[in-house]
Amino acid sequence: MNTTQAIRSGTAGMMILLAGGCGGSHHGPAPDDPATIEQGKQTFRFDTFGDEAQWTDTLRMHEVIPAAVDPVTALSVGLKVDAEALPASVVKGIQDGSVDLKSPATTVALIKLNAVVGLVGKVETVGGKDTLTRVGVTCALCHSTVDDSFAPGIGKRLDGWANRDLNPGAIIALSPAVDAALKQVYNSWGKGKYDPRFNLDGKNGPQVIPPAYGLKGIHRITSTGDGDDIAYWNRYVAVTQMGGLGSFSDSRTGVSVTHGSTDLVGPKLPALQAYQLSLAAPAAPAGSFDAPAAARGKLLFSGRAQCMSCHSGAEFTDANLRLHPVSDVVSEPEPGGAPSYASRSATKQYRTAPLRGLWQHAPYFHNGSAATLQDVVTTYNTRKSLGLSAAEMADLAEYLKSI
Ligand code: HEC
Ligand code: HEC
Protein backbone atom coordinates (compact mmCIF):
# COMPACT_ATOMS: atom_id res chain seq x y z
CA MET A 1 0.00 0.00 0.00
CA ASN A 2 1.43 3.41 -0.84
CA THR A 3 1.22 6.46 1.38
CA THR A 4 -1.88 7.91 -0.25
CA GLN A 5 -3.74 4.63 -0.08
CA ALA A 6 -2.69 4.11 3.52
CA ILE A 7 -4.04 7.51 4.47
CA ARG A 8 -7.20 7.12 2.44
CA SER A 9 -7.99 3.74 3.95
CA GLY A 10 -7.15 5.13 7.39
CA THR A 11 -9.61 7.96 6.83
CA ALA A 12 -12.24 5.60 5.46
CA GLY A 13 -11.83 3.40 8.52
CA MET A 14 -12.33 6.37 10.75
CA MET A 15 -15.44 7.45 8.87
CA ILE A 16 -16.94 3.99 9.34
CA LEU A 17 -16.14 4.10 13.04
CA LEU A 18 -17.71 7.52 13.37
CA ALA A 19 -20.80 6.50 11.42
CA GLY A 20 -21.13 3.32 13.47
CA GLY A 21 -20.61 5.21 16.70
CA CYS A 22 -23.30 7.73 15.90
CA GLY A 23 -25.89 5.29 14.62
CA GLY A 24 -28.17 8.11 13.53
CA SER A 25 -28.54 9.67 16.96
CA HIS A 26 -25.99 12.01 18.51
CA HIS A 27 -23.92 10.25 21.12
CA GLY A 28 -20.63 11.98 20.34
CA PRO A 29 -19.60 15.25 21.92
CA ALA A 30 -21.63 18.19 20.62
CA PRO A 31 -19.58 20.78 18.69
CA ASP A 32 -20.10 23.29 21.51
CA ASP A 33 -18.98 20.86 24.21
CA PRO A 34 -16.47 22.82 26.36
CA ALA A 35 -13.93 19.97 26.42
CA THR A 36 -14.00 19.73 22.61
CA ILE A 37 -13.58 23.50 22.28
CA GLU A 38 -10.65 23.45 24.72
CA GLN A 39 -9.02 20.65 22.73
CA GLY A 40 -9.50 22.68 19.54
CA LYS A 41 -7.93 25.71 21.20
CA GLN A 42 -4.81 23.71 22.05
CA THR A 43 -4.65 22.51 18.44
CA PHE A 44 -5.15 26.03 17.05
CA ARG A 45 -2.41 27.48 19.25
CA PHE A 46 0.16 24.73 19.57
CA ASP A 47 -0.29 21.96 16.99
CA THR A 48 2.15 21.85 14.08
CA PHE A 49 0.59 18.69 12.59
CA GLY A 50 4.16 17.52 12.00
CA ASP A 51 4.92 20.47 9.69
CA GLU A 52 8.50 20.57 11.01
CA ALA A 53 9.17 18.46 7.90
CA GLN A 54 8.59 21.66 5.88
CA TRP A 55 9.83 24.40 8.24
CA THR A 56 12.86 22.52 9.57
CA ASP A 57 13.89 19.78 7.13
CA THR A 58 13.15 21.76 3.96
CA LEU A 59 13.23 25.47 4.85
CA ARG A 60 15.86 25.12 7.64
CA MET A 61 14.26 27.82 9.77
CA HIS A 62 15.83 26.20 12.86
CA GLU A 63 19.17 27.50 11.49
CA VAL A 64 17.85 30.87 10.32
CA ILE A 65 16.33 31.84 13.69
CA PRO A 66 19.44 31.43 15.90
CA ALA A 67 21.63 32.99 13.20
CA ALA A 68 19.62 36.09 12.34
CA VAL A 69 16.33 36.53 14.17
CA ASP A 70 16.73 38.47 17.41
CA PRO A 71 13.49 39.48 19.18
CA VAL A 72 13.58 42.99 17.68
CA THR A 73 13.74 41.47 14.18
CA ALA A 74 11.05 38.92 15.08
CA LEU A 75 8.70 41.69 16.23
CA SER A 76 9.50 43.72 13.11
CA VAL A 77 8.25 40.92 10.84
CA GLY A 78 5.09 40.81 12.93
CA LEU A 79 5.73 37.84 15.20
CA LYS A 80 3.92 38.26 18.54
CA VAL A 81 4.95 37.31 22.07
CA ASP A 82 2.48 35.79 24.54
CA ALA A 83 3.10 37.75 27.74
CA GLU A 84 1.26 35.15 29.80
CA ALA A 85 3.86 32.53 28.88
CA LEU A 86 6.69 34.66 30.29
CA PRO A 87 7.92 33.87 33.81
CA ALA A 88 8.31 36.85 36.19
CA SER A 89 12.10 36.81 35.83
CA VAL A 90 11.88 37.31 32.06
CA VAL A 91 9.25 40.04 32.41
CA LYS A 92 11.56 41.84 34.84
CA GLY A 93 14.55 41.29 32.54
CA ILE A 94 12.71 42.85 29.58
CA GLN A 95 11.66 45.79 31.76
CA ASP A 96 15.13 46.49 33.21
CA GLY A 97 16.95 45.74 29.95
CA SER A 98 18.93 42.77 31.27
CA VAL A 99 17.24 40.47 28.72
CA ASP A 100 19.00 41.25 25.43
CA LEU A 101 16.38 41.84 22.75
CA LYS A 102 19.13 42.18 20.13
CA SER A 103 20.34 38.61 20.63
CA PRO A 104 18.94 35.69 18.63
CA ALA A 105 19.62 33.50 21.69
CA THR A 106 16.77 35.40 23.38
CA THR A 107 14.43 34.36 20.55
CA VAL A 108 15.45 30.74 21.14
CA ALA A 109 14.77 31.23 24.86
CA LEU A 110 11.32 32.66 24.08
CA ILE A 111 10.57 29.70 21.78
CA LYS A 112 11.67 27.36 24.57
CA LEU A 113 9.10 29.07 26.82
CA ASN A 114 6.46 28.52 24.10
CA ALA A 115 5.96 32.29 24.10
CA VAL A 116 6.27 33.11 20.38
CA VAL A 117 2.71 33.00 19.02
CA GLY A 118 2.39 30.45 16.22
CA LEU A 119 5.91 29.02 16.45
CA VAL A 120 6.58 25.73 18.19
CA GLY A 121 10.17 24.65 18.63
CA LYS A 122 12.18 21.95 20.24
CA VAL A 123 15.12 23.33 22.20
CA GLU A 124 17.76 20.84 23.29
CA THR A 125 21.07 21.17 25.08
CA VAL A 126 23.87 20.70 22.57
CA GLY A 127 27.44 21.21 23.85
CA GLY A 128 26.02 22.82 27.00
CA LYS A 129 24.04 25.35 25.01
CA ASP A 130 20.30 25.71 24.35
CA THR A 131 19.92 24.82 20.67
CA LEU A 132 16.84 25.00 18.46
CA THR A 133 16.70 21.61 16.77
CA ARG A 134 13.16 21.57 15.31
CA VAL A 135 10.64 24.31 14.55
CA GLY A 136 7.16 24.33 13.07
CA VAL A 137 4.21 26.70 12.73
CA THR A 138 0.61 26.61 13.96
CA CYS A 139 -2.66 28.24 12.88
CA ALA A 140 -2.05 30.98 15.49
CA LEU A 141 0.88 32.30 13.43
CA CYS A 142 -1.51 34.02 11.01
CA HIS A 143 -4.83 33.95 12.86
CA SER A 144 -3.88 35.22 16.33
CA THR A 145 -2.41 38.44 17.55
CA VAL A 146 -1.86 39.92 21.03
CA ASP A 147 -3.40 42.91 22.82
CA ASP A 148 -0.05 44.77 23.21
CA SER A 149 -0.78 45.10 26.95
CA PHE A 150 2.87 44.60 27.92
CA ALA A 151 4.59 46.34 24.98
CA PRO A 152 3.97 46.61 21.24
CA GLY A 153 3.80 43.02 19.96
CA ILE A 154 3.81 41.57 23.49
CA GLY A 155 0.58 40.86 25.34
CA LYS A 156 -2.32 38.48 25.83
CA ARG A 157 -3.35 36.27 22.93
CA LEU A 158 -6.34 37.27 20.79
CA ASP A 159 -7.23 34.09 18.91
CA GLY A 160 -9.07 34.44 15.63
CA TRP A 161 -7.83 38.02 15.10
CA ALA A 162 -5.87 38.12 11.88
CA ASN A 163 -2.25 39.09 12.39
CA ARG A 164 -2.09 41.96 9.93
CA ASP A 165 1.43 42.89 11.09
CA LEU A 166 2.81 39.50 10.13
CA ASN A 167 4.87 39.35 6.97
CA PRO A 168 4.80 35.62 6.12
CA GLY A 169 6.47 36.18 2.75
CA ALA A 170 9.44 37.99 4.30
CA ILE A 171 9.77 35.18 6.87
CA ILE A 172 9.77 32.42 4.24
CA ALA A 173 12.24 34.45 2.14
CA LEU A 174 14.77 34.17 5.00
CA SER A 175 15.15 30.48 4.23
CA PRO A 176 18.40 29.41 2.52
CA ALA A 177 16.36 26.81 0.61
CA VAL A 178 14.43 29.50 -1.30
CA ASP A 179 16.03 30.65 -4.56
CA ALA A 180 16.33 34.27 -5.70
CA ALA A 181 13.34 34.18 -8.05
CA LEU A 182 11.06 32.78 -5.35
CA LYS A 183 12.44 35.21 -2.78
CA GLN A 184 11.39 38.05 -5.01
CA VAL A 185 7.80 36.75 -5.06
CA TYR A 186 7.68 36.15 -1.29
CA ASN A 187 9.14 39.58 -0.56
CA SER A 188 6.51 41.20 -2.80
CA TRP A 189 3.57 40.16 -0.56
CA GLY A 190 4.00 42.57 2.33
CA LYS A 191 2.47 42.78 5.77
CA GLY A 192 -0.76 40.95 6.57
CA LYS A 193 -0.85 39.09 3.27
CA TYR A 194 -0.18 35.57 2.12
CA ASP A 195 -0.93 33.70 -1.08
CA PRO A 196 -2.36 30.31 -0.10
CA ARG A 197 -2.30 29.00 -3.68
CA PHE A 198 1.03 30.24 -5.03
CA ASN A 199 2.97 27.07 -4.18
CA LEU A 200 0.38 25.04 -6.11
CA ASP A 201 -0.55 27.13 -9.17
CA GLY A 202 2.52 29.37 -9.41
CA LYS A 203 0.37 32.52 -9.72
CA ASN A 204 1.18 35.49 -7.52
CA GLY A 205 -1.77 37.31 -5.91
CA PRO A 206 -1.45 37.66 -2.15
CA GLN A 207 -4.58 37.58 0.00
CA VAL A 208 -5.28 39.53 3.13
CA ILE A 209 -5.11 37.19 6.14
CA PRO A 210 -8.77 37.09 7.23
CA PRO A 211 -10.14 36.78 10.75
CA ALA A 212 -10.98 33.24 11.88
CA TYR A 213 -13.79 34.49 14.14
CA GLY A 214 -17.47 35.23 13.47
CA LEU A 215 -17.95 32.25 11.18
CA LYS A 216 -20.70 30.41 13.07
CA GLY A 217 -23.63 29.61 10.80
CA ILE A 218 -21.73 30.45 7.61
CA HIS A 219 -21.44 27.49 5.29
CA ARG A 220 -19.20 28.91 2.61
CA ILE A 221 -15.62 29.25 3.76
CA THR A 222 -12.87 31.49 2.32
CA SER A 223 -13.43 34.56 0.17
CA THR A 224 -14.36 32.33 -2.74
CA GLY A 225 -16.56 29.98 -0.71
CA ASP A 226 -14.46 26.95 -1.60
CA GLY A 227 -15.62 24.81 1.32
CA ASP A 228 -18.95 24.15 3.05
CA ASP A 229 -17.33 24.21 6.46
CA ILE A 230 -14.20 25.49 8.17
CA ALA A 231 -12.77 21.98 8.36
CA TYR A 232 -12.48 21.85 4.56
CA TRP A 233 -10.12 24.82 4.51
CA ASN A 234 -8.31 23.86 7.71
CA ARG A 235 -7.35 20.57 6.08
CA TYR A 236 -6.23 22.47 2.98
CA VAL A 237 -4.01 24.91 4.88
CA ALA A 238 -2.66 22.42 7.38
CA VAL A 239 -1.53 20.01 4.63
CA THR A 240 -0.81 22.10 1.54
CA GLN A 241 0.48 25.33 3.14
CA MET A 242 1.82 24.54 6.60
CA GLY A 243 3.17 21.19 5.39
CA GLY A 244 1.40 19.12 8.05
CA LEU A 245 1.19 15.36 7.73
CA GLY A 246 -2.04 14.22 6.14
CA SER A 247 -3.98 14.42 2.89
CA PHE A 248 -5.98 16.97 0.96
CA SER A 249 -7.57 16.60 -2.43
CA ASP A 250 -10.21 18.49 -4.39
CA SER A 251 -11.10 17.44 -7.92
CA ARG A 252 -12.42 20.96 -8.72
CA THR A 253 -8.94 22.49 -8.53
CA GLY A 254 -6.95 19.32 -9.16
CA VAL A 255 -5.05 19.84 -5.91
CA SER A 256 -4.04 16.53 -4.38
CA VAL A 257 -1.34 16.53 -1.74
CA THR A 258 -0.29 13.90 0.79
CA HIS A 259 2.50 14.30 3.31
CA GLY A 260 3.80 11.38 5.34
CA SER A 261 2.10 8.11 6.15
CA THR A 262 0.33 9.05 9.39
CA ASP A 263 -2.61 11.47 9.33
CA LEU A 264 -1.88 14.12 11.97
CA VAL A 265 -4.49 16.53 10.55
CA GLY A 266 -7.80 14.72 9.89
CA PRO A 267 -8.53 13.49 13.43
CA LYS A 268 -8.05 17.00 14.85
CA LEU A 269 -10.40 18.81 12.47
CA PRO A 270 -13.71 18.45 14.38
CA ALA A 271 -12.34 20.01 17.59
CA LEU A 272 -10.35 22.63 15.67
CA GLN A 273 -13.53 23.68 13.86
CA ALA A 274 -15.52 23.72 17.12
CA TYR A 275 -12.97 26.12 18.61
CA GLN A 276 -13.13 28.52 15.68
CA LEU A 277 -16.94 28.45 15.71
CA SER A 278 -16.79 29.47 19.38
CA LEU A 279 -14.90 32.67 18.50
CA ALA A 280 -17.31 35.58 18.15
CA ALA A 281 -16.39 38.71 16.22
CA PRO A 282 -15.33 41.47 18.65
CA ALA A 283 -17.84 44.28 19.17
CA ALA A 284 -16.78 47.80 18.19
CA PRO A 285 -15.21 49.52 21.22
CA ALA A 286 -17.41 52.13 22.90
CA GLY A 287 -16.74 55.57 21.49
CA SER A 288 -14.96 54.27 18.38
CA PHE A 289 -17.71 55.53 16.05
CA ASP A 290 -20.18 58.39 15.83
CA ALA A 291 -23.51 56.82 16.85
CA PRO A 292 -25.93 59.31 15.19
CA ALA A 293 -23.97 59.12 11.91
CA ALA A 294 -23.94 55.31 12.14
CA ALA A 295 -27.72 55.30 12.63
CA ARG A 296 -28.12 57.35 9.45
CA GLY A 297 -25.66 55.05 7.68
CA LYS A 298 -27.67 52.01 8.73
CA LEU A 299 -30.71 53.36 6.89
CA LEU A 300 -28.61 53.83 3.77
CA PHE A 301 -27.16 50.31 4.12
CA SER A 302 -30.62 48.72 4.01
CA GLY A 303 -32.09 51.38 1.73
CA ARG A 304 -30.68 53.42 -1.09
CA ALA A 305 -27.16 51.94 -1.05
CA GLN A 306 -28.64 48.44 -1.51
CA CYS A 307 -25.96 46.76 0.58
CA MET A 308 -28.45 44.41 2.19
CA SER A 309 -29.31 42.77 -1.11
CA CYS A 310 -26.13 40.73 -0.50
CA HIS A 311 -25.03 41.55 3.08
CA SER A 312 -28.20 40.10 4.63
CA GLY A 313 -29.06 38.21 7.82
CA ALA A 314 -27.39 38.10 11.21
CA GLU A 315 -23.87 37.74 9.78
CA PHE A 316 -24.45 40.21 6.93
CA THR A 317 -23.96 37.65 4.19
CA ASP A 318 -26.06 35.66 1.72
CA ALA A 319 -23.27 33.07 1.58
CA ASN A 320 -25.53 30.16 2.49
CA LEU A 321 -27.78 30.94 -0.48
CA ARG A 322 -25.41 31.89 -3.29
CA LEU A 323 -21.99 33.04 -4.37
CA HIS A 324 -21.41 35.96 -6.74
CA PRO A 325 -19.80 36.04 -10.17
CA VAL A 326 -16.75 38.26 -10.57
CA SER A 327 -18.79 40.74 -12.62
CA ASP A 328 -20.95 41.55 -9.53
CA VAL A 329 -17.97 42.18 -7.28
CA VAL A 330 -16.24 45.55 -6.85
CA SER A 331 -12.81 44.30 -5.71
CA GLU A 332 -11.57 43.13 -9.11
CA PRO A 333 -9.52 43.72 -11.23
CA GLU A 334 -6.78 42.70 -8.83
CA PRO A 335 -4.12 45.25 -7.91
CA GLY A 336 -0.77 45.14 -9.68
CA GLY A 337 -2.07 43.11 -12.62
CA ALA A 338 -2.42 39.95 -10.52
CA PRO A 339 -4.65 37.22 -11.99
CA SER A 340 -8.26 37.08 -10.76
CA TYR A 341 -8.24 35.29 -7.40
CA ALA A 342 -11.65 33.77 -8.12
CA SER A 343 -10.28 32.21 -11.30
CA ARG A 344 -7.74 30.32 -9.19
CA SER A 345 -10.35 28.97 -6.74
CA ALA A 346 -12.67 25.97 -6.75
CA THR A 347 -15.85 28.03 -7.26
CA LYS A 348 -14.55 30.81 -9.58
CA GLN A 349 -16.86 33.17 -7.63
CA TYR A 350 -16.82 35.30 -4.49
CA ARG A 351 -18.63 34.92 -1.22
CA THR A 352 -20.33 38.02 0.19
CA ALA A 353 -18.00 38.82 3.08
CA PRO A 354 -19.51 38.61 6.57
CA LEU A 355 -19.19 42.08 8.12
CA ARG A 356 -19.09 41.68 11.91
CA GLY A 357 -15.89 43.00 13.48
CA LEU A 358 -15.01 45.10 10.39
CA TRP A 359 -13.57 47.88 12.60
CA GLN A 360 -10.81 45.48 13.62
CA HIS A 361 -9.34 44.28 10.35
CA ALA A 362 -8.39 46.90 7.76
CA PRO A 363 -7.48 46.69 4.88
CA TYR A 364 -10.60 45.34 3.16
CA PHE A 365 -11.62 42.99 0.34
CA HIS A 366 -9.85 39.71 -0.40
CA ASN A 367 -6.88 41.54 -1.91
CA GLY A 368 -6.74 44.40 0.60
CA SER A 369 -7.46 46.89 -2.19
CA ALA A 370 -9.48 49.20 0.11
CA ALA A 371 -7.33 50.68 2.89
CA THR A 372 -10.24 52.01 4.96
CA LEU A 373 -14.01 51.60 5.27
CA GLN A 374 -14.34 55.03 3.67
CA ASP A 375 -12.46 53.61 0.66
CA VAL A 376 -14.83 50.62 0.58
CA VAL A 377 -17.84 52.94 0.43
CA THR A 378 -16.25 55.17 -2.21
CA THR A 379 -15.52 52.09 -4.32
CA TYR A 380 -19.15 50.89 -4.12
CA ASN A 381 -20.46 54.39 -4.83
CA THR A 382 -18.37 54.63 -7.99
CA ARG A 383 -18.61 51.08 -9.27
CA LYS A 384 -22.33 50.66 -8.57
CA SER A 385 -23.26 54.27 -9.45
CA LEU A 386 -25.09 54.71 -6.14
CA GLY A 387 -25.13 58.50 -6.31
CA LEU A 388 -24.40 58.97 -2.59
CA SER A 389 -23.25 62.41 -1.42
CA ALA A 390 -19.98 62.82 0.51
CA ALA A 391 -21.95 63.18 3.76
CA GLU A 392 -23.95 60.01 3.03
CA MET A 393 -20.77 58.09 2.25
CA ALA A 394 -19.29 59.23 5.56
CA ASP A 395 -22.44 58.06 7.40
CA LEU A 396 -22.33 54.67 5.70
CA ALA A 397 -18.64 54.24 6.61
CA GLU A 398 -19.49 55.16 10.20
CA TYR A 399 -22.16 52.44 10.26
CA LEU A 400 -19.65 49.88 8.94
CA LYS A 401 -17.30 50.80 11.83
CA SER A 402 -20.07 50.00 14.31
CA ILE A 403 -21.02 46.51 13.04
C1 HEC B 1 0.59 31.64 6.58
C2 HEC B 1 -0.63 32.20 7.07
C3 HEC B 1 -1.78 31.27 7.41
C4 HEC B 1 -1.76 30.16 8.24
C5 HEC B 1 -0.58 29.54 8.97
C6 HEC B 1 -3.12 29.71 8.31
N7 HEC B 1 -3.93 30.51 7.56
FE8 HEC B 1 -5.93 30.48 7.54
N9 HEC B 1 -5.96 31.80 6.01
C10 HEC B 1 -4.86 32.47 5.51
C11 HEC B 1 -5.25 33.23 4.32
C12 HEC B 1 -4.36 34.12 3.49
C13 HEC B 1 -6.63 32.96 4.13
C14 HEC B 1 -7.53 33.52 3.01
C15 HEC B 1 -7.81 32.45 1.98
C16 HEC B 1 -8.91 32.79 1.00
O17 HEC B 1 -9.86 33.52 1.34
O18 HEC B 1 -8.85 32.28 -0.12
C19 HEC B 1 -7.04 32.09 5.21
C20 HEC B 1 -8.34 31.66 5.42
C21 HEC B 1 -8.77 30.99 6.56
C22 HEC B 1 -10.15 30.77 6.93
C23 HEC B 1 -11.37 31.25 6.15
C24 HEC B 1 -12.02 32.43 6.81
C25 HEC B 1 -13.32 32.80 6.15
O26 HEC B 1 -13.69 33.98 6.25
O27 HEC B 1 -13.99 31.96 5.53
C28 HEC B 1 -10.13 30.05 8.09
C29 HEC B 1 -11.34 29.58 8.89
C30 HEC B 1 -8.75 29.79 8.43
N31 HEC B 1 -7.95 30.40 7.48
C32 HEC B 1 -8.32 29.03 9.50
C33 HEC B 1 -7.00 28.57 9.62
C34 HEC B 1 -6.59 27.47 10.49
C35 HEC B 1 -7.49 26.71 11.44
C36 HEC B 1 -5.26 27.31 10.32
C37 HEC B 1 -4.37 26.22 10.88
C38 HEC B 1 -4.73 24.87 10.41
C39 HEC B 1 -4.83 28.34 9.38
N40 HEC B 1 -5.93 29.04 8.94
C41 HEC B 1 -3.53 28.58 9.03
C42 HEC B 1 -3.59 32.43 6.07
C43 HEC B 1 -3.15 31.46 6.96
C1 HEC C 1 -23.74 42.00 -5.29
C2 HEC C 1 -23.58 41.68 -3.88
C3 HEC C 1 -23.02 42.78 -2.98
C4 HEC C 1 -23.53 44.05 -2.73
C5 HEC C 1 -24.76 44.69 -3.34
C6 HEC C 1 -22.65 44.65 -1.75
N7 HEC C 1 -21.65 43.79 -1.43
FE8 HEC C 1 -20.14 44.17 -0.11
N9 HEC C 1 -19.26 42.43 -0.65
C10 HEC C 1 -19.76 41.52 -1.56
C11 HEC C 1 -18.76 40.51 -1.83
C12 HEC C 1 -18.90 39.35 -2.79
C13 HEC C 1 -17.65 40.86 -1.03
C14 HEC C 1 -16.29 40.15 -0.99
C15 HEC C 1 -15.38 40.79 -1.98
C16 HEC C 1 -13.94 40.48 -1.74
O17 HEC C 1 -13.61 39.76 -0.80
O18 HEC C 1 -13.10 40.99 -2.49
C19 HEC C 1 -18.00 42.06 -0.31
C20 HEC C 1 -17.14 42.72 0.56
C21 HEC C 1 -17.48 43.83 1.30
C22 HEC C 1 -16.67 44.42 2.33
C23 HEC C 1 -15.26 43.97 2.74
C24 HEC C 1 -15.30 43.00 3.90
C25 HEC C 1 -13.95 42.55 4.35
O26 HEC C 1 -13.91 41.73 5.28
O27 HEC C 1 -12.92 42.94 3.78
C28 HEC C 1 -17.37 45.48 2.85
C29 HEC C 1 -16.93 46.37 3.98
C30 HEC C 1 -18.60 45.56 2.11
N31 HEC C 1 -18.64 44.55 1.18
C32 HEC C 1 -19.57 46.52 2.30
C33 HEC C 1 -20.63 46.73 1.43
C34 HEC C 1 -21.44 47.92 1.41
C35 HEC C 1 -21.29 49.08 2.35
C36 HEC C 1 -22.34 47.76 0.42
C37 HEC C 1 -23.40 48.73 -0.06
C38 HEC C 1 -22.85 49.99 -0.56
C39 HEC C 1 -22.08 46.46 -0.20
N40 HEC C 1 -21.03 45.88 0.44
C41 HEC C 1 -22.81 45.93 -1.25
C42 HEC C 1 -21.01 41.54 -2.13
C43 HEC C 1 -21.84 42.65 -2.16
pLDDT 10s per residue in the chain (403 long)? 444 444 444 443 343 333 333 333 445 567 789 999 999 999 999 999 999 999 999 999 999 999 999 999 999 999 999 999 999 999 999 999 999 999 999 999 999 999 999 999 999 999 999 999 999 999 999 999 999 999 999 999 999 999 999 999 999 999 999 999 999 999 999 999 999 999 999 999 999 999 999 999 999 999 999 999 999 999 999 999 999 999 999 999 999 999 999 999 999 999 999 999 999 999 999 999 999 999 999 999 999 999 999 999 999 999 999 999 999 999 999 999 999 999 999 999 999 999 999 999 999 999 999 999 999 999 999 999 999 999 999 999 999 999 9
Q: Tell me, what CATH number does 387's domain have?
A: 1.10.760.10
Q: How far apart are the first and last CA of the chain?
A: 53
Residue 285 is assigned to a structural domain of this protein: no
Amino acid at 270: P
Residue 351 is assigned to a structural domain of this protein: yes
Phi-psi sector, 52: left (phi>0), alpha (psi -120 to 50), beta: alpha
Residues with CB under 6 A from ligand 2: 223, 305-307, 309-311, 324, 328-329, 331, 350, 352-353, 355, 358, 364-366, 376-377, 380, 396, 400
Residue 367 is assigned to a structural domain of this protein: yes
Judged by its nearest atom, the ligand closest to the C-alpha of residue 118 is: 1
Shared-domain flag, residues 263 and 327: no
Shared-domain flag, residues 118 and 161: yes
Which range of residues forms the domain containing residue 143? 3-277
**What span, in angstroms and rounded, lies between the C-alpha atoms of 38 and 303?**
42
Shared-domain flag, residues 248 and 307: no
The number of domains in the chain is: 2
Shared-domain flag, residues 172 and 219: yes
Q: State residue 31's pLDDT score.
A: 72
Shared-domain flag, residues 138 and 255: yes
Residue finishing a domain among 251, 277, 303: 277
- Which residue, among 230, 84, 90, has the nearest Cα to 160 in the 3D structure? 230
Residue finishing a domain among 277, 299, 322: 277
Based on its alpha-carbon atoms, the radius of gyration of the chain, rounded to whole angstroms, reads: 22
Cα 304 to averaged position of ligand 2 atoms, centre (Å): 15
Shared-domain flag, residues 211 and 315: no
**What span, in angstroms and rounded, lies between the C-alpha atoms of 285 and 206?**
30
Does ligand 1 lie within 6 Å of residue 74's CB atom? no
Residue 242 is assigned to a structural domain of this protein: yes
Shared-domain flag, residues 254 and 297: no
Residue 283 is assigned to a structural domain of this protein: no
Residue finishing a domain among 236, 253, 277: 277
